Amino acid sequence: MKLTAFCKSILIGIPVGITFFDCVGYVARVEGISMQPTLNPDASKTDYVFLSRWAVRNHDVERGDIVSLISPKDPDQKIIKRIVGLEGDVVSTLGYKTDVVRIPEGHCWVEGDHMGNSLDSNTFGPVSLGLMTARATYIVWPPSRWQSLPADLPKPRRPLSSSSKRYSHLQAH
């Protein structure tokens, strides 16, 4: 009798768990220094973040959001970066083939917070929104770092111009 109940729990629990991870989100380890000081500020400790798949299901993201995406250079690798520009924005680049880029429709510009130590849009250009897999919403480990990750964009990295009224409060003046 107990074995039957256990098997029923497994048969129900596995599909529910898979659905949760596929639709809602999951916890992931952040590796590397490209997002310092926001993530992994102390090289001896590794941050774990909650990645919300639900938050990006309609590509409803803002400048400053930290997102997980499939690397445009290696489809087997996921990277975590901050959104600096959205479609229609004009952004200044840091070592890209041109000094200024207008972000094409269906794309965004992503950068690591640790400028010069990040493989990001300054290397591979605008990124398709379809490569986005989740938005980092909270640091969940270690306990001393528990905090939410609000959309925040340093003034020097704000777009030079924006075509979106929705995000005009972040526009550089």
Residue 11 lies in a domain: no
Catalytic residue positions, numbered: 34, 81
CATH code for the domain in which residue 96 is found: 2.10.109.10
Q: Which residues of the chain have pLDDT under 70?
A: 1, 3, 5-25, 55-57, 59, 163-173
pLDDT of residue 81: 93
The pairs formed by 115-118 with CB atoms below 8 angstroms and a separation of 24 or more are 117/33, 117/34, 117/36, 118/34, 118/35, 118/81
Q: Which amino acid belongs to residue 155?
A: K
Domain boundaries, position 52: 27-170
CA proximity to 55, closest of 137, 111, 129: 137
Residue 29 in 3-state DSSP?
strand
pLDDT of residue 61: 83
Q: How many domains is the chain built from? A: 1
Helix-strand-coil percent breakdown of the chain, rounded to 5?
25, 30, 45
Residue 105 lies in a domain: yes
Residue 16 lies in a domain: no
Confidence (pTM): 0.78
Rounded CA gap, 68 and 55, in Å? 11
Residue 9 lies in a domain: no
* Main-chain phi, psi angles of 142, to 5 degrees: -75, 160
Q: Pull the structure tokens for residue 66.
A: 């930290």
| pLDDT, tens digit (0-9, with 9 covering 90-100), for 137-173 | 888 888 888 888 888 887 777 777 776 544 444 443 3
Residue 70 lies in a domain: yes
Q: Are 109 and 102 in contact (CB under 8 A)?
A: no
Rounded CA gap, 114 and 81, in Å? 10
Give the single-character DSSP code of 104. Answer: P
Residue 15 lies in a domain: no
